[in-house]
Amino acid sequence: MDAADRIKAAIRDVPDFPEPGVVFKDITPVLSAPELFRDAIDLFAERHTGSGIDKIVGIDARGFIFAAALSDRLGIGFIPVRKMGKLPCETYEQSYDLEYGSATLTMHKDAVRDGERVLLIDDLLATGGTASASATLLETAGAELHEIDFLVELTYLGGRHKLSGYSIYAPIRY
């Protein structure tokens, strides 16, 4: 069994969370097993070692886990994309629609320099709204978006379509 299969086997389904009819893909068993978490970081590291990326951007909140560990592994900087009101300095803001309402993501204006190559990471690709808003933030800041990576992709929700034009990587797909 390869690393992606081992990780997929550990992800558990939680029915009716966060609301009835939704089957939540829970990655916490992967995070709590050191060998599986290492496998997950290895999947990303093997893909990006020597790729010339300057920084790794993690999406609030579970994207931070993978992005920070990968940043450490590759020896490059980490940038958080946060929910509105969480960053203390001057920020770029990008609002986007959710199923019931809207949300706003922010990033410090001094987080990237024009032309820096960045990798964007989150734990899971569902509808693509959060990743799309994050990509817009990075482009507004002048970054070159190398790729958008997710540990898991829920293909049946069509999020990849919302991110057309970007290179997408997700080793685990449902």
Positions marked catalytic: 62, 99
CA atoms within 13 A on the CB side of 123: 17
Separation CA 82–CA 80 (nearest Å):
6
Q: How far is residue 47's CA from residue 107's CA, in Å, rounded to a whole number?
A: 25
Per-residue b or e along 116-126, where b marks 16 or more CB atoms closer than 10 Å to that residue's CB = bbbbbbbbbbb
Q: Provide the token pair at 170.
A: 């997700």
Cα–Cα distance for residue pair 165/3, rounded to 1 Å: 28
